[in-house]
Amino acid sequence: MASLATDGAGPAPAGTFSDLVGWAVTPGYAGNEVQCIGVLEALGIAPVVKRVSLGVPWRWLAPRGPASPHPSIAPPWPDLVVASGRRAIPHARMIRRRSGGRTFVAVLQDPRISSSQFDFVWVPQHDPLRGDNVVTTLTSPHRLTPARLEAAARQCAPAVAALPEPRICVLVGGSSGSFRLGTAEAERLAQDLRAFAERHGCGLMVAPSRRTGTEIVAILKERLQDAPAQVWDQTGDNPYFGYVGLADAFIVTCESANMLGEAAYTGRPLYAYRLPGGNARFRQLHADMERHGALRWFDGSLDRWCYRPLDATREVAAALASYLKAHREGFRI
């Protein structure tokens, strides 16, 4: 198992706020939820997850409209709310108002309204939002920690023991508003992965995401069935953490900022796999990660290189801790 470097982000504030109650408020999407939970855990707070699935007309009105009634969004108000996702913003605003400002409200990702309505806002640096209470990092916060990856790797190791080394973790996303991963792209990806494994004599650990879709997973599984590869079919326990912990290098579809950032957390070689589409913000993210030395584009080669691991979770949690401490001192708690 490759060693995990984690020296790039300074001391984490874990344990500092372990006596506080913290809510993770999201629409329930995995990308939003993982970020909120990761930051709360880094602060030493056991997250209380609140999912706000909005019906009509509430989802049309978000983020500027009023919060819809929700049975679990009620007093007693927590010490800290970490919210993410446009549809969670009305509830974050409502909690801050009804708590009289005592609940510290942090928002991850651009809230699409003025950042002054919150105590703290984080956005990735390729997002244009800036402000006095806005913090940026190159990549996104997540739930990965050395202990979590090491434990998952030990548990997963017997299942991939037959795969040759080096072992490459392949993280597969899916179609989004900016990129396309359809059947044609899946066929090309599978063909490229087979050729890559044959050329380098390596093993592939392939982890699709929720966005990948059953049709794409089926294509990858069928085309790689006689290759040195293990493709998770999205049944049973998710081996994602185990694959990441065991990986000697990564191939990641380029449309997932979260997965690119999680791979870069390890400090191990990371190849981004091109998909059709894109936009200016993703081009900036890719360029920034290239400039840092974390990312290269997939071309069939397999090199070894080093770079400072990117740990946005620790950076965001440390910044939030500073704001939160000043906030609590202001209320003389």
pLDDT at 273 over 60: yes
| pLDDT of 61 | 84
What whole-number distance in Å separates Cα of residue 152 and Cα of residue 149?
5
Calculate mean pLDDT across residues 295-310.
97
Residue 264 lies in a domain: yes
Same-domain status, 117 and 186: no
- Going by their DSSP bridges, the two strands 167-172 and 249-253 should be labelled as parallel
Same-domain status, 190 and 279: yes
Residues of the chain by 3-state class (helix, strand, coil), percent to 5:
35, 15, 45
Residue 14 lies in a domain: no
Same-domain status, 229 and 150: yes
| Distant-in-sequence, close-in-space partners of 200: CB < 8 Å, separation ≥ 6 | 166, 302
CATH code for the domain in which residue 239 is found: 3.40.50.2000
pLDDT at 259 over 50: yes
pLDDT at 75 over 80: yes
What whole-number distance in Å separates Cα of residue 257 and Cα of residue 31?
9
How many domains are contained in the chain? 2
Q: Which domain holds residue 75?
A: 22-138+313-330
Same-domain status, 187 and 238: yes
For the segment 281-301, what is each residue's pLDDT rounded down to a tens digit? Answer: 999 999 999 999 999 999 999
| pLDDT of 55 | 79
Residue 17 lies in a domain: no
What whole-number distance in Å separates Cα of residue 294 and Cα of residue 306?
8
Same-domain status, 262 and 178: yes
Calculate mean pLDDT across residues 133-146.
96
Residue with tokens 């691991």: 309
| pLDDT of 332 | 66
The DSSP bridge partners found for residue 203 are: 167
Calculate mean pLDDT across residues 87-106.
96
Do 166 and 249 touch, CB atoms closer than 8 A? yes
Do 298 and 251 touch, CB atoms closer than 8 A? yes
DSSP notation for 196-255? HHHHHT-EEEEEE-TTT-HHHHHHHHHHTTTSSEEE--S-SS--HHHHHHH-SEEEEETT
Same-domain status, 293 and 184: yes
Give just the sign of the alpha carbon dihedral 288, 293, 294, 299: positive
Same-domain status, 160 and 286: yes
| pLDDT of 15 | 53
| pLDDT of 330 | 86
pLDDT at 89 over 70: yes
Same-domain status, 158 and 271: yes
Residue 10 lies in a domain: no
Same-domain status, 113 and 190: no
CATH code for the domain in which residue 111 is found: 3.40.50
Q: Whole-model pTM?
A: 0.90
Residue 103 lies in a domain: yes
| pLDDT of 215 | 96
Give just the sign of the alpha carbon dihedral 277, 211, 239, 141: positive
pLDDT at 141 over 70: yes
Residue 235 lies in a domain: yes
Residue 16 lies in a domain: no
Residue 284 lies in a domain: yes
Same-domain status, 80 and 222: no
Same-domain status, 161 and 288: yes
Same-domain status, 128 and 36: yes
φ/ψ of 255, rounded to 5, equals -85, -5
For the segment 54-64, what is each residue's pLDDT rounded down to a tens digit? Answer: 778 888 888 98
